[in-house]
């Protein structure tokens, strides 16, 4: 009997190879369909991105200006070109513009202002939400008095702002005082702000770090070996700052606590290097003009190294800034001073408009003390120091012994000596107006002229600072006695 079911099944039978072929063909068709779908979508997407290139953005600028003003408080004063670009992401590029930020906190010129756009915003700028702008190759001006407001502006800004290759000029009443080149900054992470650039042809970086109640400002200028770190207290704000600062410049180390309100108060301070170790507590005022009042208490002073350093940089030390105004009181204790002659000193220095005053400064030594008053002035490169010296001797015998002098009654009776004169620091010359011994013995002019000649020849012929050399001073005393 013929098996009908078997015959029927054979009629519909498909070979395995033939089945695999149809399966492969089906997959190819699916891949081709997906490929063409992606190509079509890509074409439409590119067209979607390109079409805005044909728009007139002059007419759309009004909406952009409104959004920039609302989100960034930026006002565009004028510009040269506005265009739409696709790469690296869709954005509006406004070129050659002048602007001001937040009612003149910052103003200047910007070569290119880039406004990043979302894909949904490239056809309509009404109510556009700008989340990021970039200022490229800008030259911006900020008044020193507006620094606090600028920091508040950045801290409260909702949108992202980037400054690239920008020159920042800090001014005081429109006079440039600080110039920073190739500045780079962004507020992408408001808790970790970094500002870098070039100051005095040296690269620097500032970091503002905030974490919980922890606030820190780090400033580095590596080419001159400058490193500083300020740790602020939790209650510190822009109006009142409190904290501790550590600062290192080459081999000079500073450390102090501070409070910055209307003035800067410094306390618990310490400065040290190979020459000196001292505190420098006091106040610095910045308004209405810069002024300082500092008290220095030295724990160590290498007098020989100090004189060597002053001699090495004598031209810099002899020129005082015309805007330097203030007072320094400098105390030296006998156990911390390496001078062969002076044991203790209490020095008061006043600075005013490029001039300096030495006021009742007392230098003690074993055999007595010297009180010096003096005025340093400079006029058209001519430097002069006018002095009044009041010398009191308490142990004439020790003077005779220490200076290898021959004992005589004349030396023994010289208990007080007053000298009135001046030093010509530009020509290394001395002029002695008066010498009075024991209040009534006035040295005659002929003798003072002789003292001047000997002093110039032995003490200041090569360098005015040589008069602080103990050995030369000793030989000078032996010569005049």
pLDDT tens, position by position, 358-375: 999 998 887 788 899 999
Neighbours of 100 (CB within 10 A): 17
Confidence at residue 62, expressed as pLDDT on a 0 to 100 scale: 80
Terminal C-alpha separation, the chain: 159
Residues 6 or more apart whose Cβ sits within 8 Å of residue 233: 215, 242, 243
Whether residue 288 sits in one domain with residue 182: no
Last residue in a domain, options 139, 170, 188? 188
**Integer Cα distance of 228 and 249 in angstroms:** 9
Same domain? 40 vs 176: no
Number of domains in the chain: 3
CB count within 10 Å of CB 251 equals 10
Q: Is the dihedral of CA 270, 272, 276, 277 positive or negative?
A: positive
List the structure tokens of 217. Answer: 């400002």
Contact 157, 72 (CB under 8 A): yes
Predicted local confidence at residue 335, as pLDDT: 62
Residues 350 and 473 in one domain: yes
307 and 160 share one domain = no
**Cα(228)–Cα(88) distance, integer angstroms:** 38
Whether residue 366 is contained in a domain is answered as: yes
Residue 418 and residue 389 in contact, taking contact as beta carbons nearer than 8 Å: yes
Question: Looking at the chain, how many residues does it have?
Answer: 481
Q: Which two tokens stand for residue 424?
A: 């010509």
pLDDT exceeds cutoff 60 at 377: yes
Do the domain assignments include residue 194? no
- Does 44 lie in the same domain as 60? no
Q: Is the pLDDT of residue 270 over 50?
A: yes
**∠187-191-197 over CA atoms, to 5°?**
50
Q: Which residue has the higher pLDDT, 385 or 31?
A: 385
- Give the residue with greater pLDDT, 110 vs 304: 110
110 and 64 share one domain: yes
In terms of pLDDT, which residue wins out, 241 or 478?
241
* Residue 58 contacts residue 83 (beta carbons within 8 Å): no
Same domain for 336 and 456, yes or no, is yes
Give me the mean pLDDT over the 44-48 stretch: 66
Long-range Cβ pairs for the range 52-57 (8 Å, 24+) = 52/84, 52/90, 52/122, 52/123, 53/84, 53/86, 55/84, 57/82, 57/83, 57/84, 57/92
d(CA 122, CA 457): 85
**Range scoring the smallest mean pLDDT among 11-25, 72-86, 236-250, 369-383:** 11-25
The pLDDT value recorded for residue 271 is 95
More confident residue, 317 or 430: 430
Neighbours of 87 (CB within 10 A): 7
Based on the domain organization, do 40 and 84 belong to the same domain?
no
27 has a pLDDT exceeding 80: no
Whether 135 is in a domain gets the answer yes
Omega before residue 288 within 30° of 0, cis: yes
Within a domain: 170: yes
Report d(CA 103, CA 72) in Å as an integer: 11
pLDDT at res. 9: 47
Residue 9 in any domain: the answer is no
Helix axis angle, 470-480 to 445-458, nearest 10°: 150
Q: Which tokens go with 158?
A: 């909702």
Strand ranges inside 173-290, DSSP E: 175-186, 192-199, 202-211, 214-221, 226-232, 241-249, 252-260, 263-272, 276-278, 281-285
pLDDT at 33: 65
Given a contact cutoff of 8 angstroms between Cβ atoms, the answer to whether 137 and 151 are in contact is: no
170 shares a domain with 40: no
User: Burial, 9: exposed, middle or buried (Cβ in 10 Å; 0-12, 13-18, 19+)?
Assistant: exposed
Q: Are 151 and 32 part of one and the same domain?
A: no
At residue 256 the predicted structure's pLDDT band, cuts being 50, 70 and 90, is very high
**Which residues, in sequence order, are CB contacts of 245 under 8 Å at separation 6+?**
228, 229, 230, 231, 254, 255, 256, 257, 258
* pTM score of the predicted model: 0.76
Q: What is the mean pLDDT of residues 114-126?
A: 76
At 254, the pLDDT band (50, 70, 90 cuts) reads very high
445 pLDDT band (50/70/90 cuts)? confident
Lowest mean per-residue pLDDT among 19-23, 113-117, 173-177, 456-460: 19-23
Domain boundary among 169, 188, 207: 188
Band (12; pLDDT cuts 50, 70, 90) = very low
- Does the structure show a pLDDT above 60 at 66? yes
217 within some domain: no
Residue 343 has what pLDDT? 79
Range of the domain at 178: 56-188
Are 167 and 147 within one domain?
yes
- Residue 8 reports pLDDT greater than 50: no
CA angle 298–303–304, rounded 5-degree value: 155
């Amino acid at each position: 009997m013929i098996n009908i079911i078997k015959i029927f099944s054979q009629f519909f039978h498909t070979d395995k190879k033939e089945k695999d072929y149809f399966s492969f063909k089906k997959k190819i068709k699916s891949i081709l369909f997906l490929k063409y779908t992606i190509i079509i979508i890509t074409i439409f997407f590119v067209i979607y991105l390109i079409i805005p290139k044909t728009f007139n953005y002059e007419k759309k600028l009004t909406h952009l200006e409104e959004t920039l003003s609302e989100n960034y408080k930026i006002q565009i004063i004028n510009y040269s070109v506005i265009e739409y670009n696709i790469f690296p992401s869709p954005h509006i590029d406004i070129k050659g513009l002048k602007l001001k930020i937040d009612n003149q906190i910052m103003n200047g010129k910007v070569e290119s202002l880039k406004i990043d756009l979302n894909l949904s915003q490239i056809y309509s700028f009404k109510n556009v939400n700008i989340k990021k702008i970039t200022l490229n190759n800008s030259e911006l001006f900020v008044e020193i008095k507006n620094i606090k407001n600028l920091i508040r502006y950045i801290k409260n800004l909702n949108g992202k702002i980037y400054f690239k290759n920008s020159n920042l000029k800090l001014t005081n009443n429109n006079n440039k005082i600080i110039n920073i080149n190739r500045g780079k900054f962004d507020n992408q992470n408001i808790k970790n702000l970094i500002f870098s650039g070039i100051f005095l042809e040296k690269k620097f970086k500032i970091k503002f770090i905030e974490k919980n109640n922890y606030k820190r400002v780090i400033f580095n200028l590596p080419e001159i070996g400058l490193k500083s770190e300020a740790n602020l207290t939790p209650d510190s704000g822009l109006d009142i700052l409190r904290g501790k600062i550590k600062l290192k410049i080459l081999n000079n180390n500073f450390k102090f606590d501070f409070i910055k309100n209307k003035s800067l108060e410094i306390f618990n301070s310490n400065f040290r290097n190979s020459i000196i170790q001292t505190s420098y507590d006091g106040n610095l005022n910045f308004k209405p003009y810069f002024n300082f009042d500092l008290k220095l208490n030295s724990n160590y002073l290498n007098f020989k190294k100090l004189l060597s350093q002053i001699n090495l940089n004598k031209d810099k030390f002899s020129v005082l800034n015309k805007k330097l105004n203030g007072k320094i009181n400098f105390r030296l204790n006998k156990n911390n001073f390496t001078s062969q002659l002076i044991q203790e000193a209490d020095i008061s220095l006043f600075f005013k408009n490029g001039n300096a005053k030495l006021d009742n400064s007392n230098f003690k030594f074993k055999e007595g003390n010297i009180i010096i008053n003096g005025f340093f002035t400079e006029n058209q490169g001519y430097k002069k120091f006018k002095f009044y010296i009041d010398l009191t001797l308490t142990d004439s015998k020790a003077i005779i012994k220490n200076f290898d002098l021959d004992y005589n009654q004349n030396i023994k009776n010289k208990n007080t000596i007053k000298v009135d004169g001046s030093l010509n620091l530009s020509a290394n010359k001395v002029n002695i107006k008066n010498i009075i011994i024991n209040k009534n013995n006035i040295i005659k002019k002929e003798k003072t002229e002789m003292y001047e000649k000997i002093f110039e020849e032995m003490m200041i012929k090569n360098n005015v600072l040589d008069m602080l050399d103990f050995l030369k001073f000793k030989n000078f005393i032996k010569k005049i006695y």
